[in-house]
């Protein structure tokens, strides 16, 4: 098993990509700390992992609260005795541009994606050093590598994660800690439905029609699945990627290649 004996914290694992990733990590032997604000969905993920013979523990945490992030990371050691993998995956979307941006929308987007990543790593670092090294992963987006027509603040925050990945990969190499960033394209999750509805409404078409048009921009002609992103995450945090650090990996069906 790829992650036998490892302990992972996954933010935003109550649904979507994080949920699929946490289940994949547990199947490969990791003990996983599931996290998000929704206790019911978090509990369901833990139950599912346990039914499959894996180990999981839920911690309710809002990544906008730095105290919650610190508590979350420490819970890994309390529950499972160590910390090897920290994946900051929690995210939100919301349409904005230079006309509609507000100080509140800006602060929220930066807090959930970037500030939580920075201070999550700061909290996790001493524990990962104690474990002799490990892997850090961020969920970025193709919107952090190519400007998004949908959201100015989302693109800004996700591009910040790419630079954070590079900076930390260099700084933490001496600690045997690898740092990488997944950059998904269109993945069929709750977040994607939200985006399709917003885009469709703006154009006066149905979400189905919008998604049909959107898929034409993807060389593989379809959205990415949660499982495909989870598989990429599993690879990046496992020893199969032992010489890969500082990378922003698109998982996008070829979207960025066009």
Ligand X SMILES: NC(=O)c1ccc[n+]([C@@H]2O[C@H](COP(=O)([O-])OP(=O)(O)OC[C@H]3O[C@@H](n4cnc5c(N)ncnc54)[C@H](OP(=O)(O)O)[C@@H]3O)[C@@H](O)[C@H]2O)c1
Q: Can residue 187 be called a binding residue for ligand X (CB under 6 A)? A: yes
Site for ligand X in 70-129 (CB under 6 A): 89-92, 112
According to CB under 6 A, which one of 6, 7, 8, 16 is a site residue for ligand X? 16
Which of 153, 189, 196, 245 binds ligand X (CB under 6 A)? It is 189
In the list 18, 54, 160, 250, the residue contacting ligand X (rule: CB under 6 A) is: 18
- Chain-centre distance of CA 247, in angstroms? 14
Nearest distance in Å: CB 135, ligand X: 17
CA dist., res. 84 & res. 79, Å (int): 13
Q: Which is nearer to ligand X, 131 or 184 (CB)?
A: 184
Task: Judge contact between 7 and 34, C-beta under 8 A.
Answer: no
In our burial notation (b when 16+ CB lie closer than 10 A, e otherwise), range 128-163 reads beebeebbbbbbbbbbbbbebebbbbbbbbbbbbbe
Rounded CA-CA distance 204/75 in Å is: 47
Report in angstroms how near the CB of residue 161 gets to ligand X at its nearest: 9
Q: Out of 123, 139, 159, 196, which residue is the one contacting ligand X (CB under 6 A)? A: 139
Size of the site for ligand X (CB under 6 A): 30
The question of whether 106 is a catalytic residue gets the answer no
Residue 179 vs residues 59, 69, 166, 192, 236: alpha-carbon distances, Å? 23, 18, 8, 26, 9
Tell me: does residue 12 bind ligand X (CB under 6 A).
yes
Q: Which of 95, 120, 160, 184 binds ligand X (CB under 6 A)?
A: 184
Separation between Cα atoms, residue 108 and residue 213, nearest integer Å: 30
Q: What's the count of helices (H) and strands (E) in the chain, helices before strands?
A: 9, 7
Give the residue with the Cβ less far from ligand X, 172 or 218. 218
Q: Cα separations (Å) of 36 from 39, 116, 190, 205? A: 7, 13, 14, 33
Is the sign of the CA dihedral 217, 20, 244, 126 positive or negative?
positive
For the window 32-51, what string marks contact with ligand X as x by the rule CB under 6 A?
----xxx--x----------
199 makes contact with ligand X (CB under 6 A):
no
With beta carbons less than 8 A apart as the criterion, state whether 76 and 55 touch.
no
Using alpha carbons, list the distances in angstroms from residue 9 to 81, 145, 197.
12, 25, 31
Interface residue with ligand X, options 21, 32, 59, 141 (CB under 6 A): 141
CB of 17 to ligand X, least distance (A): 4
* Among 58, 87, 119, 154, the one annotated catalytic: 154
Which region among 77-85, 97-105, 188-196, 235-243 touches ligand X (by CB under 6 A)? Answer: 188-196
Choose between 104 and 174: whose C-beta lies nearer to ligand X: 104
3-state secondary structure at position 114: helix
Catalytic residue numbers read 154
Tell me which residues touch ligand X (CB under 6 A). 11-18, 36-38, 41, 61-64, 89-92, 112, 139, 141, 184, 186-187, 189-192
């Amino acid at each position: 098993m790829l992650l036998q004996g490892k302990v992972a914290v996954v933010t935003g694992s109550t649904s979507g990509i994080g949920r699929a990733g946490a289940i994949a990590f547990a199947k490969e032997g990791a003990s996983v700390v599931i996290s998000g604000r929704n206790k019911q969905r978090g509990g369901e993920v833990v139950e599912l992992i346990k039914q499959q013979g894996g180990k999981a523990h839920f911690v309710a945490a809002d990544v906008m609260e730095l105290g919650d992030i610190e508590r979350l990371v420490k819970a890994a050691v309390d529950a499972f005795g160590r910390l090897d993998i920290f994946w900051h995956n929690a995210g939100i979307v919301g349409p904005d541009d230079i006309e509609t941006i507000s100080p509140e929308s800006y602060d929220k987007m930066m807090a959930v994606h970037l500030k939580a990543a920075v201070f999550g790593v700061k909290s996790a670092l001493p524990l990962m050093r104690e474990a002799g090294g490990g892997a850090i992963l961020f969920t970025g987006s193709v919107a952090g590598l190519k400007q998004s027509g949908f959201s100015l603040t989302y693109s800004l925050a996700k591009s910040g994660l790419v630079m954070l990945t590079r900076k930390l990969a260099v700084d933490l190499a001496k600690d045997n800690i690898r740092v990488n960033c997944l950059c998904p394209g269109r993945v069929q999750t709750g977040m994607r439905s939200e985006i399709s509805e917003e885009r469709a409404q703006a154009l006066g078409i149905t979400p189905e029609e919008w998604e049909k048009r959107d898929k034409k921009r993807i060389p593989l002609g379809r959205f990415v699945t949660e499982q495909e992103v989870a598989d990429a995450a599993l690879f990046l945090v496992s020893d199969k990627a032992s010489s890969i650090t500082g990378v922003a990996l698109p998982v996008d069906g070829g979207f960025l290649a066009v």
